[in-house]
Structure 1
Amino acid sequence: MTTSASAAGWVEIDESAIAHNVVTIRAELGEKVEFCAVVKADAYGHGIDLVVPLLIAEGIALIGVASNDDAAAVRAAGFSGRLMRVRPAGRDEIDDGIRLDVEEWIGGVEHARIVSAIAAARGVRVRAHLSLNSTRLGRDGIDLGEDGGADAVAAVLADPWVDVVGLCAHFPCEDVTDVTDGTARFDDETREVLAGRHAGARIARHCATTFAALTVPESRFDLVRIGAGLYGDSDTVGGALRPAMRVVSRIAAINVYPAGSTVGYDRWHRLDHDARLAVIPLGYADGFHRSLSGTGEVLVRGRRAPIVDRIAMNSFLVDVSSIPRAAPGDEVVLFGRQGDEVISPADVARSHGQIAADLYVAWGRLLPRRPVAAGG
């Protein structure tokens, strides 16, 4: 979506920040590790149409997607390189993914049979990445420690309709010790899989996403899958990555209410002082979850203002009593920088109680979105 003058709120995407993040991460990884740029969920809400041309310009040759809609959008943006799905797909998705040349993520023994059957029916050999449960995520990988696990993996590798180009895993925790332990198991198990008849096979090993790749170098193996880091949602690399998203609205109205008044649905908050409250014309319909009620903050005139009521479908209130010059029409930043202050992913995570991506992916897909120049 593009913005209009009448929008109640919008998302600004700093394209230069994304380009900077790609260059910064590649420099950290070195030239021997392949960089898979993950653009699932419409590039984490940042817009495939905006992000993919930047990746092409930076020479990225492998892009990670989840849905076929995202895969089609990547192709429409002009990308002709490799596409890797980063989760198991359903039967119809796999079938439709063939036209987009998507490399599938095989999530188990039965799933491998589905991929093989579809490939045979279409008369094409499907490239795929076979997931192992080496990191103990317990989600979609074959567990080599279970009876029959090694035989199941061998059967997939021998399937004439499945071209296994990768052995993969995913970490359950952003914790250095956990990642280090999982990396060691993945290394041992994939070496075992690739021994013997598969020795020398051109099969990439990969398990690292942004946190692992940038904090535990031994987790990088042949390629890394970089998602959050592309968009600056990471404090790795010494804080050198730059957040690319800013969420903006404007104050719709301001009213003064006396101490003792209640505000918001369910009389959510009782004022302990005479207060100037500003109406922000966004709400949970726009992705501003009720978890931010009474916990989140916004920026007005470069200063923090707390959310004081229970967030409604299309509005919420912030206390601007300490910002006397605040007025209707003033810019409000709900995520990102304004002046010297910033509402960071870490701020949102603390207020929300979950990772910031749980919210900003929705903001980027629900609100109008536009590219801006650096600092714009």
Structure 2
Amino acid sequence: MSKTSLMTLDSKAVKNNIDFLQNMIGPEVKLSSVVKANAYGHGIEHLVPVLEQAGVDHFSVFSYDEAQRVRKSTTNNPTIVIMGWISNEDLPEAIKCGFEFFVFSLERLYQAQHNATQLNRVAKIHLEVETGMNRSGLNRRELKTAIALIKSAPKQFELTGFCTHLSGAESISNHHRIQKQLKKYHKMQALLQSAGLRPQYCHVANSAATCVFPKERFDLVRIGIMQYGFWSSAETFIHFRQSQKVQDDPLQRILSWESRVMAVKEVKTGEFIGYGIYYLAQSDIKTALVPIGYATGYSRSLSNKGRVLINGHRCSVIGLVNMNMIIVDVTNVPTVEVNDEVVIIGKQGDLEIKVSAFSNISDELNYEVLAHLPGDIERQVI
């Protein structure tokens, strides 16, 4: 471990999760692996080849730069879809690379037509429609304009997708709103079909919707959090267990994260520990210094709350989380030495620190905790 901490990605867990998801959706539905936000903090360059080995041949990202990273990390020329940001300067190169991309505004459609014409290439587009999330997408009037433009320029466009995004399928409180969205999507889909346009993929479902709304999987599902071994929410997992009449979690966590003890210190009763007056030693205690902090993805909100595993014991983070260090109470650990393993996420013996432990304490979602993991943390695949 050359850096201050190490993340390990379990290739067998990846294969388990992809196999489970493929079995759930069936052979007629394409699985698009969502690897935006540096593969949810796992690392695009490390994880994408493992996903490809597990049978994934379709990836979705947010931005053009992520698409380039995925392309460089693969060997089998998979489909890569950009769901969000492409600058006007990068759009010609995106078209030349054969990247598919969402069209959520008429401005992007016009720009794509212009670039495709100049390049004598086809722009592979997914029309994203606004169905009630009010974030991005074409409304009904804009869709009619888009349809007319696409039909007038068949050599410039390949309609590979017709999609929308649902507003929170992981919570039952959103389901009435989602039903309204689905009705609107189907009406707009009918408008597209009546114009004689048949996209390769119709898609609306993320991980949660794939589980909760199986009839809405259509031709393709966009799977993010589940492939990494996490459920979108406790509600989603409960729904799965009840619908499938199973108890065990079929998903496996991919990521573990460890560091090492940097120093050990004895602190006397009545002494403050770390910055300010956030922790006062109520008795003589022993502390271990660990070289991770909020600069390396360990949130400051875990101050006086976080837990790590050292030598088979669950130990408390005490005082404020620093930029590059945390202080851990190891009074009850019989022997602690410099360079001992510190598990931040993962298992040590019979004990485990889960990502949910972070989110429960810090009020961050699993998604946030993972996405905040810096890209320069050392990573390895096993």
Are positions 1:67 and 2:86 aligned together? no
Once the two structures are TM-superposed, the CA of residue 87 in structure 1 deviates from its matched residue by 1.7
Deviates more, 1:105-114 or 1:27-36: 105-114
In structure 2, distance between residues paired with 1:351 and 1:93: 41
Residues 288-312 of structure 1 show CA distances to partners (whole Å, capped at 9, x for unaligned) of: 2212222221111233212112111
Specify which of 340, 363, 367 is matched with residue 350 of structure 2.
Answer: 340
Please state whether the residue corresponding to 2:100 is helix, strand or coil.
strand
Are positions 1:247 and 2:257 aligned together? yes
Residue 114 of structure 2: aligned partner: 117
**Match for 1:207: what amino acid?**
V
Are positions 1:219 and 2:219 aligned together? no
Q: Structure 1 residues 338 and 175, CA, compared in 2 at 3 Å: closer, same or farther?
A: same
Specify which of 203, 206, 220 is matched with residue 206 of structure 1.
Answer: 203
Native 8 Å contact 1:250 1:329 kept in 2? yes
Native 8 Å contact 2:229 2:252 kept in 1? yes
Please state whether the residue corresponding to 2:8 is helix, strand or coil.
strand
Are positions 1:79 and 2:76 aligned together? yes
**Match for 1:163: what amino acid?**
E
Once the two structures are TM-superposed, the CA of residue 220 in structure 1 deviates from its matched residue by 1.3
Are positions 1:105 and 2:102 aligned together? yes
Are positions 1:169 and 2:164 aligned together? yes
Please state whether the residue corresponding to 2:71 is helix, strand or coil.
helix
Once the two structures are TM-superposed, the CA of residue 125 in structure 1 deviates from its matched residue by 1.9
TM-score by length of 2: 0.87
* Percent of aligned positions that are identical: 25
Residue 368 of structure 1: aligned partner: 378
Residue 131 of structure 1: aligned partner: 128
TM-score by length of 1: 0.88
Are positions 1:41 and 2:51 aligned together? no
**Match for 2:319: what amino acid?**
D
Residue 246 of structure 2: aligned partner: none
Structure 2, unmatched stretches of 5+, are 242-248
Specify which of 248, 265, 285 is matched with residue 295 of structure 2.
Answer: 285
**Match for 1:169: what amino acid?**
T
In structure 2, distance between residues paired with 1:176 and 1:204: 27
Specify which of 146, 151, 157 is matched with residue 144 of structure 2.
Answer: 151
Residue 257 of structure 1: aligned partner: 267
Residue 328 of structure 1: aligned partner: 338
Native 8 Å contact 1:137 1:170 kept in 2? yes
**Match for 2:118: what amino acid?**
A
Please state whether the residue corresponding to 1:243 is helix, strand or coil.
coil
Residues 85-138 of structure 1 show CA distances to partners (whole Å, capped at 9, x for unaligned) of: 12242212322212321101112222322222222232222011111221x322
Once the two structures are TM-superposed, the CA of residue 202 in structure 1 deviates from its matched residue by 3.3
Deviates more, 1:57-66 or 1:304-313: 57-66
Once the two structures are TM-superposed, the CA of residue 347 in structure 1 deviates from its matched residue by 1.2
Are positions 1:29 and 2:39 aligned together? no
How many correspondences in the alignment?
364
Please state whether the residue corresponding to 1:262 is helix, strand or coil.
coil
Q: Structure 1 residues 41 and 272, CA, compared in 2 at 3 Å: closer, same or farther?
A: same
Native 8 Å contact 1:88 1:106 kept in 2? no
Please state whether the residue corresponding to 1:337 is helix, strand or coil.
strand
Please state whether the residue corresponding to 1:332 is helix, strand or coil.
strand
Deviates more, 1:255-264 or 1:30-39: 255-264
Residues 206-237 of structure 1 show CA distances to partners (whole Å, capped at 9, x for unaligned) of: 11111221232123121101111111122645
Root-mean-square deviation (Å): 2.3
Residue 302 of structure 1: aligned partner: 312
In structure 1, distance between residues paired with 2:354 and 2:22: 23
Structure 1, unmatched stretches of 5+, are none
Residues 32-57 of structure 1 show CA distances to partners (whole Å, capped at 9, x for unaligned) of: 21100112233223233333333333
In structure 2, distance between residues paired with 1:192 and 1:312: 51
Native 8 Å contact 1:11 1:363 kept in 2? no
Please state whether the residue corresponding to 2:186 is helix, strand or coil.
helix
**Match for 2:57: what amino acid?**
A
Please state whether the residue corresponding to 1:91 is helix, strand or coil.
coil
In structure 2, distance between residues paired with 1:295 and 1:171: 34
Q: Structure 1 residues 346 and 171, CA, compared in 2 at 3 Å: closer, same or farther?
A: farther
Native 8 Å contact 2:6 2:259 kept in 1? yes
In structure 1, distance between residues paired with 2:4 and 2:227: 27
In structure 2, distance between residues paired with 1:266 and 1:111: 52
Are positions 1:141 and 2:137 aligned together? yes
Deviates more, 1:41-50 or 1:29-38: 41-50
What stretches of structure 1 move > 4 A for 4+ residues in a row?
none
Native 8 Å contact 1:18 1:231 kept in 2? yes
Once the two structures are TM-superposed, the CA of residue 190 in structure 1 deviates from its matched residue by 3.4
Please state whether the residue corresponding to 2:276 is helix, strand or coil.
helix
